[in-house]
Amino acid sequence: MSQTTIRIDPHVHSEGSYDGHDPVELLLEQAAEIGLDGIVVTDHDVIHESLRAAELAPDYGLIGIPGVEVSTDVGHLLAIGVSEMPPRRAPLDETVQWVRDHGGVAVVPHPFQRSRHGIPRRHLVDCDAIEVFNSWLFTGFRNRRARRFAADHGYPALAASDAHSVPHVGRAFTELVLDDVDRSSLDGDTVLGAMRNGSTRMLGRRQPIPASARHYAVGSARKSGYYAKVGALKGQAVARAGLLRGAQLLAELSPR
């Protein structure tokens, strides 16, 4: 029985995200350059750039898969393979079912990490897969905890870069092992099926801690302003607190 292995980075942000930096064309070009077979652009609560990336992907020799990182009532969820925007801030179980009803795969990213809106353990009772390796986590503890949880509960495991700019695409990725599938016939549905079945291997490495800290510091400030603006977090005090914390972290990391 022949096997085909493909490499997918299922969690990438473009300039469509409030905290993303680069256009999808550059992200796709980088993915092709480093030997990936596809990426999923999963911007925060918007899907337009991901749809464009999926449409452009074949021009770069890549598999096109749309997606979005949607905010639920208890944390973030990757809706991979959907072509429209899920309801925002809906109950987690309803969002997972919505993703399935629309042909997608519901993946929990960076679980248990409250500072990044990871879904708490007590709420994580149903999904299709779990991101057990995220390249931006400060230490390996959260990744190891996610890996143990996925193994203990029988969830397929994925690795992802969670890239917010071109150089970080593919820092971590998922290998999907497909049986009796000709590479020329690969499409998004084939990839989604392999994710659901758990035919995966995780590869990659974490970002250096100073880079992760800087990313968190800048991101926390931008995130606070964004959520205060759209109403997910109320009050200017929330935005000011995030800005202050981000500034403090940047000051700590700046050369003296």
Output the pLDDT for position 179.
85
Output the pLDDT for position 204.
81
User: Is pLDDT at 234 greater than 50 in this prediction?
Assistant: no
Q: What is the mean pLDDT of the chain?
A: 85
Which ranges in 109-254 belong to alpha helices (H)? 141-153, 188-197, 209-230, 236-253
pLDDT, tens digit (0-9, with 9 covering 90-100), for 131-176: 999 987 756 788 899 999 999 999 999 999 999 999 999 999 999 9
User: Is pLDDT at 242 greater than 60 in this prediction?
Assistant: no
pLDDT, tens digit (0-9, with 9 covering 90-100), for 38-49: 999 999 999 999
Give the Cα separation of 55 and 86 in Å (integer).
19
Contact 17/75 with Cβ under 8 angstroms? no
Average pLDDT, integer, range 65-86: 98
Output the pLDDT for position 252.
47
Average pLDDT, integer, range 192-219: 70
Go through 194-232 and write b for each residue having 16 or more CB atoms within 10 A of its CB, e for each that does not.
Answer: bbeebbbebebebbeeeebbbbbbbbbbbbbbbbbeeee
Give the Cα separation of 24 and 28 in Å (integer).
6
Give the Cα separation of 69 and 116 in Å (integer).
12
Q: Assign 3-class secondary structure to 27-84.
A: HHHHHHHCCCCEEEECCECCCHHHHHHHHHHHHHCCCCECEEEEECCCCEEEEECCCC
Query: If residue 25 lies in a helix (H) or strand (E), which one and from where to where?
Result: helix 24-33
pTM: 0.81
Output the pLDDT for position 46.
97
In CATH, which superfamily holds the domain spanning 3-207?
Metal-dependent hydrolases (3.20.20.140)
Residues 6+ apart with CB under 8 A from 55: 64
